[in-house]
Amino acid sequence: MPYPFVGNMELMGKQRSLELGTLVLPTLLLLLFYGARGSHCSLVHGNMTDRRSLLDFKEAITDDPGGALHDWNDGIHHCMWSGVSCSVRHPGRVTTLELGSLNLTGQITPSLGNLTFLRELNLTDNHFSGQLPSLNRLIKLEFLALRENILQGNIQDATIALANCSKLMWLEISSNMLVGSIPRKIGSFSNLVFLDLSQNNLTGTIPPTFSNITRLLYLFLGENQLEGNIPGELGQPSNMQALVLKGNKLSGRVPSELCNISSLILLDLGMNMLSGALPPNIGDTLLGLEWLYLGTNNLEGHIPDLLGNASALVHLDLSSNYFTGQIR
């Protein structure tokens, strides 16, 4: 299901990252590199650790059908390698590694945990397998995008591997093969704006500690095996714009606290085992709601007068439930 406005957030996030100083200035780096070749080598090769870490990562890539890493070789400064950007203020220090949609096969090596200036790691849509290594030294990391790979292991271990990345704003590990239950510790990533763990094999209940992530705008936990009630605390990150819990085994009522998130644009609770009546105030407060999916649950009772007042609503699915009465 496409959620177009989330794409806009991606752009917003990127712009913020750029403002924060991840400048990509290839020409300047070229000049520095070639200009400094003779006597001032140390300026450019200021940190060989980053170069070694990248080479170590490359060695663990077992298939690169498009030759994406063909220029990762001796003749070229590592800041000029495809997908790599470096800091301007700290020459040679890698700030971005962006290798999405390249059909790369391999493992994410622990050496990436040595790129201590890294702000952004994007390996989306490849064939990376194995577990997420410890990235605990990456205290500057803001964007981690690993969607659509075949990463394995327990979400608890993945959380520990990131425990010190307290600046993380964007955490996207959807469409992988993670198992286990979401740890309460998830609440300690208090700067998260975007969290997507959908399409894994997560079990257990949704921890109430999401209420700690007050900046959260987008939360996607759909298509897992989550069970139990939807915690009312999810109503706490009160600027949330999208909450997607579809395709789990969630039961109990739709908590009335969710109706307090007046910023919600998308609410998708479809394909669960939710029961009982909808909170009566659902139409009063969710005035900006554009997408509401509650289909394929065991919900019952009257449909609140939400159709009349949720005037922004463009997509509504209440099908396959036990609703009665009239739509007004």
CA distance readout (Å), 163 to 116, 137, 221, 302 = 14, 9, 20, 45
Closest CB to ligand NAG belongs to which residue? 100
Tell me whether residue 223 or residue 290 sits nearer to ligand NAG (CB atom): 223
Tell me whether residue 201 or residue 263 sits nearer to ligand NAG (CB atom): 201
Under the binding rule (CB under 6 A), the answer on residue 95 touching ligand NAG is no
Shortest distance (Å) from residue 165 CB to ligand NAG: 9
Under the binding rule (CB under 6 A), the answer on residue 125 touching ligand NAG is yes
Under the binding rule (CB under 6 A), the answer on residue 122 touching ligand NAG is yes
Instruction: Tell me the site size for ligand NAG, rule CB under 6 A.
Output: 43
Tell me whether residue 129 or residue 256 sits nearer to ligand NAG (CB atom): 256
Place of tokens 């600027």: 239
Question: What is the C-alpha separation between 83 and 72, in angstroms, rounded?
Answer: 10
Question: What is the C-alpha separation between 111 and 100, in angstroms, rounded?
Answer: 19
Considering only 33, 72, 170, 293, the residue that binds ligand NAG (CB under 6 A) is 170
CA distance readout (Å), 269 to 55, 135, 275 = 44, 33, 12
Under the binding rule (CB under 6 A), the answer on residue 275 touching ligand NAG is no
Shortest distance (Å) from residue 182 CB to ligand NAG: 12
Tell me whether residue 240 or residue 320 sits nearer to ligand NAG (CB atom): 240
Under the binding rule (CB under 6 A), the answer on residue 257 touching ligand NAG is yes
Under the binding rule (CB under 6 A), the answer on residue 317 touching ligand NAG is no
Tell me whether residue 119 or residue 294 sits nearer to ligand NAG (CB atom): 119
Mention every residue, 6+ apart, whose C-beta is less than 8 A from residue 124: 100, 101, 145, 146, 147, 148, 149, 172
Compose the 295-314 pattern: x for residues touching ligand NAG by CB under 6 A, - for all others.
----------x--xx-----
Q: What is the dihedral of CA 12, 269, 277, 311, to 10 degrees?
A: 40
The residues of the shown chain that bind ligand NAG, judged by CB under 6 A, are 10, 14, 47, 49, 53, 56, 65-66, 100-103, 110-111, 114, 116, 122, 124-125, 136, 143, 145, 163-164, 170, 177, 184-185, 187-188, 190, 201, 209, 212, 235, 256-257, 260, 283-284, 305, 308-309
